[in-house]
Chain A
Amino acid sequence: MLKNLINKSFSREEWVYIKIPLIIYWFLSVSNLHGTFNGQPFPVGVCEWVNCAAFTGSFTYPLFIFFSLILVLAYVAEWKMTVVTFFIAVISVISFSLEESNGIYTRTAIVSAIFIVQFLAYAFHDMGWIHNLHKYRIHFMLQVITAGYTLAAISKLTVSGIDWVTDGPRIALQVVKSFSFAYIQTGKASFLETGAQYAGFLLNHAWLVKLILGFSLVLEISCILALINRRVTFVYGLLLLGMHIGIHWLMDIIIMPMAIPMVLVFINPFYHIHKGFKMLMNRKDRHEIVILKLDLDE
């Protein structure tokens, strides 16, 4: 098991299929934020030291977007990555701290953390502390994402203990709340009906709620196992994705800043789709060669 832990490797192709959607997601997230906030009424994080809102002015905002775009292009081109990932991490921390300083918590900590550890991977490589950059620039991300889910489990256990599972039927209140948010947001009364139906189902099937919550808690607290080897990482990715889908279906909530990095790093779907497509094309080519050979033989 230790050997698997240490000898894990990733190809350059896998890296490309993770980093491109990741940086697109990052750019869309931070550029959207800066169009929204004009101040920081509840300063938290680095915004306690720095006026993060200075980046949202009519002059600074276009400059910020332009600079971020340059960073995105450099990141995709794998150019000066130590410097580029450093600045991406800085912008990430400032932008999402600004969001939190406006009282809005979309749980973006992992998004910033994964760029910080990417920066550290490149910096460690430049300093000669690590030699297998291909492995560590992905594995460091895997570690912080895994830590995030583990912390979520620790939070549940320290605040609620086992009551988190036994009080589970009260989740019906959270379901009604979520669907009420959707109604207040859109005006569609169907959300209220759906919320009431789901809440009723949960209240009438308390045992099922406790079972699902118990399973989710075990999944999160055992997330460190995702570091064992790539197969386990992939399985955990699928289970966590199932958990996110279940939460979205039941409560109309999805925590994108956790789900998207997890899916990209644990499952790497675009890489597997590409691999599958390549295999199909190879089979098609082999099939054509066989037919051609048969034709020639005839």
Chain B
Amino acid sequence: MNFSIRSAILSVVFFLGYIIITLLVGEWHPFSNFPMYNNFPNWAYVFYVTDSSGKVLYNEEYFDKGSGSVAHMYYAACQHRNIKYGDDMETTSEMQILGNDILDQIELKRFDFSGDSLFLFKKTFMLVNGSILEDSVNIAARHVEKSNK
């Protein structure tokens, strides 16, 4: 059998190299462990914003960031501030700090909503005895200047 050792090495070098470097450095673009859904915890969070009347302001209409991005921001803020998260283990003050971090990052596209405040909610889903339960908590609020808008 005629083959080049060098060709054989070149045929796997980037496969092995990318894996080894990623395992060494972790999440550092362009290296990633691709950790999406690498576990299925017994909790899930979604975040939404309401106006003063409790009406949900849909991200597509009101904000420059998508609903999924807002969740990513929450976890990024947790990691940035070394706050442990998940399973509702965050304290009220921690959630307030994180909520404010998120509200600092999202911008309003329109101002036709009730009142002059925005309320960020965290909803938790949990599996209990084969049924999915949910619970929402207001984690941050922000006054909005609506004059001349």
Contacts and interface: CB of A to CB of B under 8 A. Distances in A.
A258 B40 contact: no
Q: What are the 3 tightest A-B residue pairs by CB atom distance, in nearest-first order?
A: A103-B76, A112-B30, A109-B32
Contact of A140 (B14, B39, B48, B67): B14
Given A160-B38, A185-B58, A187-B56, A170 B127 contact: yes
A180 B67 CA distance: 9
Interface string A75-113: 000000000000000001100110010111101111011
22 contacts: A41-B80, A41-B105, A45-B28, A96-B29, A107-B36, A108-B29, A109-B32, A110-B32, A139-B10, A149-B34, A150-B15, A151-B32, A151-B33, A154-B23, A156-B37, A170-B41, A172-B132, A173-B132, A177-B44, A177-B125, A184-B58, A185-B67
Interface string A242-255: 00000000000001
B24 to A, nearest CB: 12
Contact of A173 (B12, B47, B60, B127): B127
A255 B36 contact: yes
A241 interface: no
A105 B61 CA distance: 22
A117 interface: yes
Interface size class of B (residues with CB under 8 A): 35 or more
Contact of B29 (A97, A148, A187): A97
A229 B142 CA distance: 58
B126 A173 contact: yes
A50 interface: no
Nearest to A156: B38
A160 B58 contact: no
Interface residue SS majority, chain A: helix
Contacts of A6: 3-4, 7-8, 11
A107 B34 contact: yes
A227 interface: yes
A184 B15 contact: no
